[in-house]
Amino acid sequence: MKKYISEVKTPKISIAPMVDKTHRHFRYFSRILTKEALLYTEMITAQSIINGDRDKILYFREEEGAVALQIAASTPEDAYKAVKLSEDYNYSEINLNCGCPSDRVSGNLMGAALMSSKDLVYEILCAMKEATKKPITIKHRIGIDGTGVLEGISDKIIMEGYDDLLSFLDTVSKARPDRYTIHARSAILKGLSPKDNREIPPLDYNMVYNLKKEFDYLNIEINGGFKTIESIKDALTKVDGVMIGRPAYENCYLLTNFYKLYEGNENKKPISRAEAIKAYIPYIIEELEKGNSVHALVSPLQSLFQGQKGSKKYKQLLSSSNVKKETIIQILNHIIETMPENILYN
């Protein structure tokens, strides 16, 4: 393994890249809930950065704070161009997706399928490093099963077990990535939907923990199945960081507790639900004026009352049939006036 001690600090907590979820409105609201987490964009293909409407795809407001751009690429040339073009925007780091199992992505030798071509991953990471001085990071799985998809494309169709993971990292580490975010389950490229690929292959945290134990100089962030502050704290005794995905939109108020991961915060109080809504209202007004969709703007709020009394009624008030751009602010003010005080102001 290449011994490269990156100077990039791994945040204790980050919110995973998630297509159709971690768009800039979601990230803006997440930043109201937590100042601590590194936020990620959705996966964006290098081709769409090169050929698409870049401002639409890459623009974000500085209030979002530290945001990592995640790209999907299948050639060093595309990766280089995409990273260079993203230099016009203020991302704090650029991440390469080697974990997405979807057919469309694997078919184009991107995402998890790339793990079967470790030399190519090495070349792509080198190209990314050449294009920017920003940290370059990688998100990958502990293994893949490319049966039925990668025959004829790659020699290594199945990667399973610790030795295969080490062999992948041995090559990739030569490109000196600044961090490895490891989703602690394999990706099965044929026969499982992306959703099933986040649930059916079992989680194997020990594979990630053993890696950190053996190569303590690597910056390692673990991902998959972390839902509570306690489980995150426990993982942080073994690796540098924890990335959370689904809980960030299924139970977003969890984010307000991330301050507990840092010492010296014992007297801090999390922002209340009412304060969070109030802080988001001016943003909604501004973004509606710019012509943005009210539904996209409201989507980050959907799980704010998850698990609390009144959550069903709240979700109904924010359902797409109720929400209109003319009435959304009225609805939010109504929520602040009518939800139980102990839940609004914890």
Ligand X SMILES: Cc1cc2nc3c(=O)[nH]c(=O)nc-3n(C[C@H](O)[C@H](O)[C@H](O)COP(=O)(O)O)c2cc1C
CB 135 within 8 A of CB 92: yes
For the bound state, the minimum distance from the C-beta of residue 44 to ligand X, rounded and expressed in Å, comes to 8
Active-site position among 98, 100, 126, 252: 100
For the bound state, the minimum distance from the C-beta of residue 3 to ligand X, rounded and expressed in Å, comes to 27
φ, ψ (nearest 5 deg) of residue 168? -60, -50
Pairing outcome for strands 144-145 and 158-159: antiparallel
Which positions ≥6 away from 3 have C-beta within 8 Å?
217
For the bound state, the minimum distance from the C-beta of residue 71 to ligand X, rounded and expressed in Å, comes to 10
Binding site for ligand X (CB under 6 A): 16-21, 42-43, 70, 97, 99-100, 139, 183, 198, 223-226, 244-246
For the bound state, the minimum distance from the C-beta of residue 152 to ligand X, rounded and expressed in Å, comes to 26
Question: Is 126 among the catalytic positions?
Answer: no
How many CB atoms sit inside 10 A of residue 124's CB? 30
- Please choose, from the candidates 137, 171, 115, the residue with its C-alpha nearest in 3D space to the C-alpha of residue 1: 171
Q: Which is nearer to ligand X, 257 or 272 (CB)?
A: 257
- Please choose, from the candidates 208, 131, 204, 226, the residue with its C-alpha nearest in 3D space to the C-alpha of residue 169: 208
Q: Which is nearer to ligand X, 17 or 76 (CB)?
A: 17
Q: Which is nearer to ligand X, 146 or 245 (CB)?
A: 245
Give the residue closest to ligand X by C-beta. Answer: 245
For the bound state, the minimum distance from the C-beta of residue 235 to ligand X, rounded and expressed in Å, comes to 12
For the bound state, the minimum distance from the C-beta of residue 64 to ligand X, rounded and expressed in Å, comes to 17
Q: Which is nearer to ligand X, 146 or 247 (CB)?
A: 247
Q: Which is nearer to ligand X, 171 or 251 (CB)?
A: 251
Q: Which is nearer to ligand X, 221 or 287 (CB)?
A: 221
Which sequence positions are flagged as catalytic?
Answer: 100
